[in-house]
Amino acid sequence: MADLTGSYNDKEKVENESNLGSRPPEEKVEAAMRILQKSVVEENPEGYGGPMGLDVGTSNIVLAQNKGNRISVTKQLNAFFIIPQSKFTRKILEQNEIAFFEHNKQYYIIGDSAENFANMFNANTRRPMEKGFLTLREDEGVAIIQAIIKTLVQRPKKLGEIICFSVPGEPGWDNHRATSLGGHEAVIKMYLASLGYTPIAINEGLAVVMAELGDENFTGIGISMGGGLCNVCLTYMSVPVIAYSLQRGGDDIDENVSRETGLSATKIKGIKEEGVDLSTMPKNKIGLALQIYYTDLINELVHSMEKVISSSDRIPKIANPIPIVISGGTASPKGFREKFESDLRSIRLPFEIASVRVSKDLLNATAIGALVMAVSEAK
Amino acid sequence: MPLSVVVFSAENVRGALLRKALEKSGFEVSLHKNVRVAIDVLKTKAPQLVIIDRKGYFPRELESFSSLSGLLKNIPVVIVSKAEADSSFTLKDVSVEWCQSDPLDPLAVVAKAKSSLAASGKSDLREKETIAEDLRGFIGLK
């Protein structure tokens, strides 16, 4: 059941949920706070015991596990690359322990290895997800995402172990694209349940709040800025009050800059990952284009917050100023926070903002927040 | 033993906010959306306090709260609604307190719940608050 709270995607089941007999809320909060004090280590998974957090993002899938005095984090690229089938190729793939599966006389290379193959063939990887949701464009989308998740999540040691997985919010601003959050969530949930877990969906923005705002009583706005989209969640004492997604993210910056400069989107992504500085004058055409499209994205995000939050009648009375915390790879450029803060000054919200900060662990915050939720839900 | 509170709220988010704020203040909360289960819930849970968040209920659902008067005779009720004078249902011979619904102020509802319980003598809150008041006076915060 649902608290630190609910079916975290705003569809809380209420009847007969008395919490009587379940874990007391103060114990849940204590369990959550204990997790947040641990250090984060990136490593290969070794055994699957205890609750887990899984960030199912458009670009990456990240697993967070509680391992004694640390949080263990493992990543896999959410991408695939198809090569023709042959006995020789199979042998090479197996010898090199490359994750793949066979379908329609082709090999589907999945995860991090897909990018290596794409580079070798001077081509682009493909993705089973687009804009935060499973894409129907790829015939084998479901099989691919299941295979990628399987490289990270094996069967649990104990049947029914809790795994919290991230889901995007419903489009709340540029709602021109049909999405099926329910369908997307159901597919992931069904697969994790088939492995023997008790899966619980958590909104991405809420996960950021769970990872970052423990000291603020899990109250504030969590924003996850990924490759496919931006997720925003206004949370009050861990209750997701408003959650929505803006259907734009880092990939849009890559595509737009690619169009302006004539370089491939993959190349632009590489340049971005080397480091972007939004606080200084751009040095060349690529730098200028990156600044323009980052600024554009931040501007649209901030204005979406004004529109969605201000028009809601759900906002509780919030007496004290609340923090905003931003996470995700798209928030990594130098000067990002300052630009966001500056744009925030131009809008009106029904409460005061105390501070804007960028997550301590940009790429892992969603998975860590999902883990915090899983631990607090575990009996 | 934590004090038991039954909350009726038609809207998921409002219900979750009320539950969270009450639980944080040490109450044991049973949250319900459907008015049809009210009689069974009140009989089985035997709560010390009932909170009815009026927002989002249909008029006929609100009317059915009137039939609970008998069961609520010795239980204080906090009604969260737009206006204090709410004619959508009547609770006869029931001790009712009112709390503003828009915007929902979970902490104000908790305060109202505490004061209702203290007034009805169902908790030792009144005594604790008196001690706190005395202490505030003593250290000059009053």
Query: Which chain A residues touch B107 with a CB distance below 8 Å?
Result: 317, 319
DSSP per residue over B16-78, as a string? HHHHHHHHHTT-EEEEE--GGGHHHHHHHH--SEEEEE-TT--HHHHHHHHTTTTTTTTS-EE
Partners of A315 on chain B (C-beta within 8 Å) are 103
Block residue for tokens 């927002």? B55
Integer Rg of chain A from CA: 21
Rounded to the nearest angstrom, the minimum Cα separation between B14 and chain A is 7
**Is A376 an 8 Å CB contact of chain B?**
no
Chains A and B form CB pairs within 8 A to the count of: 81
Using the beta-carbon criterion (under 8 Å), do A14 and B33 form an inter-chain contact?
yes
- What is the percent of chain A where pLDDT is above 70? 86
> What pLDDT sits at residue B73?
87
Please indicate whether residue B112 or residue A270 has the higher confidence score (pLDDT): B112
Nearest to B29 among A16, A18, A240 (CB): A18
Terminal-residue alpha carbon distance, chain A = 11
User: CA-to-CA distance for A345 and A356, rounded, in angstroms?
Assistant: 11
Mark yes or no for CB contact B106/A316 under 8 Å.
yes
Give the pLDDT confidence score for residue A9 in this predicted structure: 44
Does A129 reach chain B within 8 Å, measured CB to CB? no
Report the pLDDT value the prediction gives residue A135, as an integer from 0 to 100: 77
pLDDT at position B138 is 52
Report the Cα B17 to chain-centroid distance in Å: 13
Check pLDDT > 70 for residue A84: yes
The pLDDT of residue A19 is 36
Lowest mean pLDDT among A330-339, B21-30, B104-113, B129-138: B129-138
Closest CB to B31 among A17, A237, A319: A17
Lowest mean pLDDT among A27-36, A212-221, B49-58, B102-111: A27-36
Entry field: residues in chain B = 142
Give residue A275's pLDDT. 87
Q: How confident is the model at residue A313 (pLDDT cuts 50, 70, 90)?
A: confident
pLDDT at A10: 40
Task: Say if the Cβ atoms of B31 and A18 lie within 8 Å.
Answer: yes
* Chain B residues inside the 8 Å CB shell of A240: 13
**Predicted pLDDT of residue A253:** 93
pLDDT of A41 over the 80 cut:
no
Instruction: Say yes or no: A21 contacts chain B, CB-CB below 8 A.
Output: no
pLDDT score of B13: 94
Q: Point out the residue among A25, A241, A315 whose CB comes nearest to the CB of B24.
A: A25
pLDDT tens digits, residue range A207-230?
999 999 999 999 999 999 998 899
Look up tokens 């021109």; give the residue: A176
Is the pLDDT at B28 greater than 70? The verdict is yes
Say if residue A137's pLDDT is above 90. Answer: no
Residues 332-371 of A with CB under 8 A from B: 350
Specify the CATH number for the domain of residue B105. Answer: 3.40.50.2300
Split at pLDDT 50, 70, 90, the class of B20 is very high
A16 touches B: beta carbon within 8 Å: yes
| pLDDT at position A128 over 60 | yes
Residue to substitute from B31, B36, B112, interface A, most A β-carbons within 10 A: B31
Question: Quick check: A204 contacting B, CB < 8 Å?
Answer: no
- Encode pLDDT of A360-373 as tens digits: 899 999 999 999 99
What does pTM read for this prediction?
0.84
Which pLDDT score, from 0 to 100, does residue A21 have? Answer: 38
Among candidate residues A289, A261, A258, the one with its CA nearest the CA of residue A276: A289
Task: Say if residues A191 and A149 touch (Cβ distance below 8 Å).
Answer: yes
Confidence of residue A17 (pLDDT cuts 50, 70, 90): very low
Which pLDDT belongs to residue A25? 64
Q: Which residues of A touch B30 (CB under 8 A)?
A: 17-20
- Report the number of distinct structural domains present in chain B: 1
Half-sphere exposure of A233 (CA within 13 A, CB side): 35
Question: Which of the two residues, A378 and A318, has the higher pLDDT score?
Answer: A318
Q: What is the pLDDT of residues A325-352, one digit of tens each?
A: 999 999 999 999 999 999 999 999 999 9
Instruction: Say whether pLDDT at A285 is over 60.
Output: yes
Give me the domain span that covers residue B88: 4-138
Mean pLDDT of all residues belonging to chain A = 85
Q: How far is A15 from chain B (nearest CA, A)?
A: 5
For A58, which DSSP code?
A: S
- Higher-pLDDT residue of B124 and A300 is A300
* B133 C-beta neighbours (distance < 10 Å), count: 12
pLDDT category at A39 given cuts 50, 70, 90 is: confident
Q: A316 and B17: CB-CB below 8 Å?
A: yes
Q: How far is A16 from chain B (nearest CA, A)?
A: 6
Specify the amino acid at residue A222: G
Task: Kindly give the residue spans of alpha helices, DSSP state H, lying in A22-169.
Answer: 25-36, 87-95, 112-120, 141-152
Distance, CA of A53 to CA of A75 (rounded, Å):
12
Q: A6, A349 in Cβ contact below 8 A?
A: no
Which amino acid, residue A86? Answer: S
pLDDT of residue A191: 93
- Chain A's closest residue to B101, CA to CA, is A316
Ramachandran region of residue B50, left (φ > 0), alpha (ψ -120 to 50) or beta? beta
Q: What is the structure's pLDDT at A7?
A: 42
| For residue B127, pLDDT beyond 60 | no
Average pLDDT over residues A106-135: 84
Contacts of A20 in chain B (CB under 8 A): 28, 30
Q: Which residue has the higher pLDDT, A125 or B89?
A: A125
- A52-66, A168-182, B99-113: least confidently modelled range: A168-182
- The letter for the amino acid at A372 is V
Half-sphere exposure in the Cβ direction for B55 (13 Å, CA): 18
Find chain A residues with C-beta within 8 A of B20's C-beta: 3, 5, 25, 236-239
Measured in angstroms, the CA of B88 and the nearest CA of chain A are apart by: 22
With CA atoms as reference, the chain B residue closest to A237 would be B20
Q: What is the pLDDT of residue A288?
A: 93
- Per the CB < 8 A criterion, the answer to whether B69 and B92 are in contact is yes
Position A171 scores a pLDDT of 84
Look up the ipTM and state it.
Answer: 0.76
Q: Within the 278-307 window of chain A, which residues sit less than 8 Å (CB to CB) from chain B?
A: none
**So what's the pLDDT on residue B75?**
92
Q: What is the largest CA-CA distance in chain B?
A: 52
Interface test with B, best of A10, A14, A233 (most B CBs within 10 A): A14
Listed residue (A323, A327, A321, A322) closest to A369, CA to CA? A327
One-letter amino acid for residue A168 of the chain: P
From chain B, which residues contact A within 8 Å (Cβ)? 9, 11-17, 19-21, 23-24, 28-34, 37, 45, 102-108
Q: Output the pLDDT for position B119.
A: 85
**pLDDT bracket for residue A170 (50, 70, 90):** confident
Task: Tell me, rounded to whole angstroms, the distance of Cα A152 from its chain centroid.
Answer: 16
